[in-house]
């Protein structure tokens, strides 16, 4: 039993090409959307949640807890893209889900000082009054997918409510990614296409991560689903994990 966790402004359906390539369409159908994103109500996504005190607010942890409760047990692979990959890392690091292995696709989860500084600059964009157009332009720049996916994915972003998308976007860009990686104890494949995340850097903080380069663009699971599926299968079956 596998689960898929999409990125900011996305939908579970954005994993359809990869799920088909992996023969996991039924698993995708059971995968909830990110909290606050339309498209799935698995496990009661529409249920109201008690507000947390602002001083203790942690949108990443909130999203991880909510999604994990909706997803149920994940004894197989947990596959997260972009923001979904950050949420997946947090859910696994905190023991909210216990997959056999984790796949993170092009999430912004660097560990070097230079890359973290660049990510912090981007996080400040969420405070701007035009944050939504900035986010759209950022995603569109790397949206190298064929139609109808290009139009569909931008339409899905436009249809996603401001709250909690804005808070979640800012929070994932401010997450302590060194701590997230250090807290991972399951085999993890990082599928890199656009991010400043490299094997030599992750080796300094975890023994459980393997990096593979697949491209192009920020959605390789849509542009090259067979290549991503092949990379996952090779990694999952050739003894690369649990440790390198």
Between the alpha carbon of residue 72 and those of residues 32, 42, 76, 124, the distances in Å are 10, 10, 12, 34
Q: Give me 179's structure tokens.
A: 């701590």
Per-residue pLDDT at 54 exceeds 70: no
CATH number for position 38: 3.40.50.1820
Q: Give me 132's structure tokens.
A: 């939504």
When divided into structural domains, the chain yields a total of 1
Question: Model's pTM, two decimal places?
Answer: 0.92
30: in domain: yes
149: in domain: yes
pLDDT recorded at residue 237: 87
pLDDT digit string (tens) for 66-83? Answer: 999 999 999 999 999 999
51: in domain: no
pLDDT band, very low/low/confident/very high, at 130 (cuts 50, 70, 90)? very high
52: in domain: no
Contacts of 35 (CB under 8 A, 6+ apart): 45, 62, 63, 66, 67, 164, 168
243: in domain: no
Q: Which domain holds residue 201?
A: 3-45+57-237
242: in domain: no
50: in domain: no
CB atoms within 10 A of CB 217: 16
244: in domain: no
């Amino acid at each position: 039993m596998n689960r898929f966790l999409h990125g900011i402004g996305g939908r579970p359906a954005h994993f359809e090409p990869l799920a088909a390539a992996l023969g996991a369409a039924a698993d995708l159908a059971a995968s909830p959307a990110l909290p606050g994103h339309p498209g799935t109500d698995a496990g009661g996504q529409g249920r109201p949640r008690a507000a947390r005190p602002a001083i203790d607010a942690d949108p990443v942890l909130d999203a991880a807890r909510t999604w994990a409760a909706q997803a149920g047990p994940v004894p197989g692979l947990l596959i997260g893209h972009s923001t979904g990959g950050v949420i997946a890392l947090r859910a696994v690091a905190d023991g909210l889900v216990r997959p056999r292995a984790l796949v993170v696709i092009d999430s912004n989860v660097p560990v070097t000082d230079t890359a973290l500084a660049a990510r912090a600059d981007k996080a400040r964009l969420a405070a701007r009054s035009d944050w939504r157009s900035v986010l759209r332009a950022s995603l569109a720049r790397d949206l190298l997918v064929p139609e109808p996916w290009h139009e569909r994915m931008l339409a899905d972003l436009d249809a996603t409510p401001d709250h909690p998308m804005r808070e979640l976007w800012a929070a994932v860009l401010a997450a302590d990614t060194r701590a997230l990686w250090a807290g991972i104890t399951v085999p993890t494949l990082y599928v890199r296409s656009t991010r400043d995340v490299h094997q030599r850097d992750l080796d300094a903080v975890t023994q459980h991560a393997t990096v593979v380069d697949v491209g192009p663009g920020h959605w390789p699971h849509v542009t090259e689903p067979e290549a991503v599926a092949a990379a996952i299968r090779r990694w999952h079956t050739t003894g690369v994990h649990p440790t390198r």
